[in-house]
Structure 1
Amino acid sequence: MFGYMTELDTVEKLKTESIEAEGSDLLSLLYHFLDEFLFLFNADPFFIPKEIKITEFDNENFKIKAEGYGETFDLKKHPQGTEVKAITYSNMQVHDQLDKHDIFVIIDI
C-alpha cells in the first residue's frame, strides 16, 4: 500500500509508530490493520512506514499489534505517488496455508 504512495527506498527508519486493531473475523482484522496504518499516514504526523513488524497476533480473537518503522512524509524528500483513499472489502482474500500466507486487498485510489 505504501509503495503506491511513494518510493519506499526514499523512506528511512527514523521513527516508530505502534498500532492495534481488532475485528470480528480475519478479513475485518486485515481491513482494520491496514486502515490504522492509513490513518497514521493521513493524520499528523503523516507517518509513512518503510517496514512493518507484527508484534502480537491473536488468530482466535482477531487482534493484532504492530510497529511501523519509517518517518514523517515530506514532499521534498519523498516523491508523491498515488493517493490511497481507503481500504476496501471488495474481493479481499486471505489464503492461509501451513507454509505460505497470501493476502489480496483492493485499495481505493
Structure 2
Amino acid sequence: MKHTIDIECSGHDLHSLFYQFLDEFLFGFSAEPFFIARKVKILEFDRESHTIKARGYGETFNLDKHPQGTEVKAITFSNMQIHEKVGRSDVYVIIDI
C-alpha cells in the first residue's frame, strides 16, 4: 500500500467507540488528501477504557483510478449492533449516502 494513516479514538461504550473509529476514517477520506483505506490494522484496543489505535493502509483518491459514485456522507447510530461471540465479533452499521 502506498500510504498510511494512524487514528486514535475513544468512546464511552463500544458503540460510540465503533462510531468514532469509522468516523475518523471517513474524515480521512473527506479531507485532504482524500485517503482511501484498503486495509486496517488494529494496533491497540482497550475494552475497559474504550480506546483504539489503528493504522489504515491505502492510497489517495484519484479520479483516473477510482470511479465516482455513491459516497458515504455520515456514520450513524441507527440500528448499530455489536454481536460478540467466542473469537469473533460481528458489527452492523447503517451509513448515510
Same fold (TM over 0.5): yes
Q: 2:47 maps to which residue?
A: 59
Instruction: Flag structure 2 segments of 5+ consecutive residues without an equivalent.
Output: none
Question: What is the percentage of aligned positions where both structures have the same residue?
Answer: 63
What SS does structure 2 have at the residue aligned with 1:89?
coil
Picking from 61, 86, 92, the partner of 1:98 is: 86
Q: State how 1:1-109 maps to structure 2 within 5 Å.
A: 13-109=1-97
Superimposed CA distance per residue, residues 7-34 of structure 1 (whole angstroms, 9 cap, x where no aligned partner): xxxxxx1011100110000000000000
Consecutive aligned runs of 4 or more in structure 1 exceeding 3 Å deviation: none
Instruction: Flag structure 1 segments of 5+ consecutive residues without an equivalent.
Output: 1-12
Aligned residue-pair number: 97
Q: TM-score if structure 1 supplies the norm length?
A: 0.87
What SS does structure 1 have at the residue aligned with 2:87?
coil
> More strand by proportion, 1 or 2?
2
Superimposed CA distance per residue, residues 14-69 of structure 1 (whole angstroms, 9 cap, x where no aligned partner): 01110011000000000000000000000001000110000000001000000000
- Counterpart CA distance in 2 for 1:100 and 1:43 is 32
> More helix by proportion, 1 or 2?
1
